[in-house]
């Protein structure tokens, strides 16, 4: 992508997780957070989403909000100012190998493109996840992965004791993030929010600029490692908080604005 002058003039980069961080209990961006993002832009600070969600979901969630940059699908598809910085499609053969094992356990998969997603078949675990995320259920298609470029796979499983079987069998191919009691996000080995953030910083030649990240979950720990200052929400687990440089208020108590003001990123 072209590195525009404006891109190189940012005073800081701030990465936000969505669920449990930037979003409220209804999975929407509050008026206060909306205003905070607008103010960051005015202060020449680039706000970015860093999420396991797809570009389409992120665009729907941030509609009307001054944010057009994101690390999506856990680092598989990364965009700055509406331009694609990097993307990492998963080879069909690898998806089929994962599908064969997951089917033997009765675990369905959903395959994600840049704009849509579809599951092999419906399961109770799948329905619980999308209900939890306030997201539409995927369409059902056994052929979807053969006809589209797939960037991330969601594996629906509540059998956490089987997580290690997946990780062992595909140790050289995939990275698995258990991001809910009902699911694991599956990306190409070496990809993560951390890798996506690093790709953006390198591509924009902004290694000299201060970087911050707000998060609450285990899949945010890599993001914390990729920035100068890691900020955990008060609703995060003790484990996540132990990896943070600062703990702000919860996502339901205006924790984003509180944290941004603490670091003098907002007026």
Catalytic residues: 17
3-state secondary structure the chain: CCCCHHHHCCCEEEEECHHHHHECCCCCECHHHHHHHHHHHHCCEEEEEECCCCHHHHHHHCCCCCCCCEEEHHHCEEEECCEEEEECCCCHHHHHHHHHHHHHCCCCEEEECCCCEEECCCCHHHHHHHHHCCCCCCEECCCHHHHCCCCEEEEECCCHHHHHHHHHHCCCCEEEEEEECCEEEEEECCCCHHHHHHHHHHHCCCCCCCEEEEECCHHHHHHHHHCCEEEECCCCCHHHHCCCCEECCCCCCCHHHHHHHHCCCCC
């Amino acid at each position: 992508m072209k590195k525009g002058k404006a891109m190189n003039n940012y005073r800081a980069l701030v990465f936000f997780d969505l669920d449990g961080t930037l979003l409220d209990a209804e999975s929407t961006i509050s008026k206060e957070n909306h205003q905070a993002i607008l103010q960051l832009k005015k202060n020449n600070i680039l706000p970015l989403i860093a999420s396991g969600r797809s570009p389409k979901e992120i665009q729907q969630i941030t509609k009307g909000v001054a944010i057009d940059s994101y690390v999506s699908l856990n680092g598989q598809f990364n965009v700055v100012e509406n331009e694609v910085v990097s993307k990492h499609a998963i080879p069909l053969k690898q998806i089929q190998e994962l599908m064969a094992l997951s089917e033997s356990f009765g675990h369905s998969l959903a395959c994600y493109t840049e704009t849509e997603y579809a599951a092999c078949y419906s399961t109770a675990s799948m329905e619980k996840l999308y209900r939890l995320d306030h997201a539409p259920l995927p369409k059902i298609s056994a052929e979807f992965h053969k006809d589209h470029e797939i960037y991330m796979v969601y594996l629906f499983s509540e059998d956490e004791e089987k997580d290690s079987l997946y990780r062992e069998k595909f140790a050289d191919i995939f990275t698995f993030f258990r991001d809910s009691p009902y699911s694991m996000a599956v990306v190409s080995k070496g990809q993560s929010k951390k890798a996506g953030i690093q790709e953006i910083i390198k591509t924009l030649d902004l290694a000299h600029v201060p970087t911050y990240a707000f998060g609450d979950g285990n899949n945010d720990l890599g993001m914390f490692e990729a920035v100068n200052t890691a900020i955990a929400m008060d609703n995060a687990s003790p484990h996540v908080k132990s990896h943070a440089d600062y703990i702000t208020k919860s996502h339901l108590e205006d924790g984003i604005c509180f944290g941004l003001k603490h670091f003098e990123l907002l007026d």
